[in-house]
């Protein structure tokens, strides 16, 4: 067996990102051949990635990439917030976003098989990262917009990302609206987009609230209409007070910008919809100690 030198271990670590002991073992297993050792580590890394794939990854980061008429958001998940702040994780997330922007993939499954700028596919890069950070990592979602209209893109703290398409206005307005959507999370653009059954249900609730007030019918109708209109305003982008100027609604801000229109938006928040595991640490300690 060839003698393994410190310089070989160092070179393999720099090349693969694996730990020192893993690199030393890989070199020993492959008679000091760095090429073979790198392949061995990759194969071992894939095996580790497979074992970690069942673990819940509900933390992570929203990464964004944008050019003049196109923008993309990707959600990359990890098991812990600590790993989500790791330099290797951040580099991977940004590379995936750039790959999504430059490529033709329209969904996350197609994105996973797309080659990155440094060679491997997105999923191969993910598997390498799993081996590096020791956690399950998943490329979960992608949102992409491409339009001749203005697209605003905004990511808040790596946790919430928004894309918004507007007709009219300018890039500053589009970004401001993206910030508003990130903060206020409106389900709908305008009252015209609110489902009729939702409005009918709110009207029924409002009627029940005022029916015993003893007021005349015409007054009751106005009270009911007012209550429903207030609720609809609260859940629509155009009806909400604009976060960058709370003295006016978003609708007023759009009118002030020459009658600009919001055509579409998408908002991603890290981990939404993932059932997070609530660990009972006391029970786990007792189990490990053989007391449970």
Whether the CB-CB separation of 276 and 80 falls below 8 Å is answered with no
Are 47 and 86 in a shared domain?
A: no
Two structure tokens written together for 132 = 């590096």
Two structure tokens written together for 106 = 């329209």
**Which phi and psi angles does 176 have, rounded to 5°?**
-60, -40
Predicted local distance difference test score (pLDDT) of residue 211? 75
Are 34 and 113 in a shared domain?
A: no
Q: What is the pLDDT of residues 150-190, one digit of tens each?
A: 999 999 999 999 999 999 999 999 999 999 999 999 999 99
Residue at 277 is within a domain: no
Predicted local distance difference test score (pLDDT) of residue 287? 53
Taking the model in full, what pTM does it have?
0.75
Are 141 and 60 in a shared domain?
A: yes
Whether the CB-CB separation of 18 and 12 falls below 8 Å is answered with yes
Predicted local distance difference test score (pLDDT) of residue 46? 45
In DSSP terms, 167 is beta-bridged to 261
Predicted local distance difference test score (pLDDT) of residue 45? 65
Q: What is the CA radius of gyration of the chain?
A: 26
Are 76 and 97 in a shared domain?
A: yes
Whether the CB-CB separation of 149 and 170 falls below 8 Å is answered with no
User: CB-hemisphere CA count at 13 Å for 162?
Assistant: 23
Residue at 194 is within a domain: no
Predicted local distance difference test score (pLDDT) of residue 222? 87
In DSSP terms, 156 is beta-bridged to 160
Residue at 223 is within a domain: no
Are 62 and 40 in a shared domain?
A: no
SS (H, E, C) 46-108: HHHHHHHCCCCCCEEEEEEEEECCEEEEEEEEECCHHHHCCHHHHHHHHHHHHHHHHCCCCCH
Predicted local distance difference test score (pLDDT) of residue 38? 80
| Residue stretches of the chain with pLDDT short of 70 | 1, 17, 42-54, 56, 275-292
239 C-beta neighbours (distance < 10 Å), count? 21
- Number of domain units in the chain: 2
% pLDDT > 90, the chain: 58
Whether the CB-CB separation of 52 and 130 falls below 8 Å is answered with yes
Q: The domain that contains 98 carries what CATH number?
A: 3.30.479.20
Q: The domain that contains 39 carries what CATH number?
A: 1.10.8.10
Are 98 and 36 in a shared domain?
A: no
The whole domain housing 41 covers 6-52
Written as one string, the DSSP assignment of 178-194 is HHHHHHH--SBSSGGGS
Predicted local distance difference test score (pLDDT) of residue 52? 65
């Amino acid at each position: 067996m060839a003698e393994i030198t410190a310089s070989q271990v160092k070179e393999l670590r720099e090349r693969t990102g694996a730990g020192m002991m893993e690199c030393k073992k890989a070199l020993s297993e492959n008679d000091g051949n760095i090429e073979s050792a790198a392949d061995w580590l990759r194969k071992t890394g894939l095996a580790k990635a497979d074992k970690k794939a069942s673990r819940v990854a509900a933390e992570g980061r929203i990464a964004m990439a944008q050019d003049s008429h196109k923008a993309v958001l990707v959600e990359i998940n990890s098991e812990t917030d600590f790993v989500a702040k790791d330099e290797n994780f951040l580099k991977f997330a940004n590379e995936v976003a750039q790959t999504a922007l430059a490529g033709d993939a329209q969904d996350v499954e197609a994105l996973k098989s797309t080659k990155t700028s440094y060679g491997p596919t997105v999923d191969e890069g993910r598997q390498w990262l799993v081996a590096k950070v020791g956690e399950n990592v998943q490329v979960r979602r992608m949102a992409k917009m491409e339009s001749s209209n203005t697209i605003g893109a905004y990511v808040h703290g790596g946790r919430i990302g928004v894309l918004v398409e507007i007709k009219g206005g300018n890039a500053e307005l589009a970004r401001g609206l993206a910030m508003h959507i990130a903060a206020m999370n409106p389900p709908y653009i305008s009252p015209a987009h609110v489902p009729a059954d939702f409005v009918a249900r709110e009207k029924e609730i409002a009627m029940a609230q005022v029916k015993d007030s003893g007021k005349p019918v015409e007054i009751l109708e106005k009270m009911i209409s007012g209550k429903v209109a207030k609720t609809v305003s609260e859940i629509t982008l155009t009806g909400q007070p604009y976060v960058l100027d709370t003295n006016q609604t978003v609708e007023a801000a759009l009118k002030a910008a020459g009658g600009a229109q919001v055509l579409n938006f998408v908002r991603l928040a890290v981990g939404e919809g993932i059932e997070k595991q609530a660990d009972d640490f006391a029970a786990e300690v007792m189990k490990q100690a053989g007391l449970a």
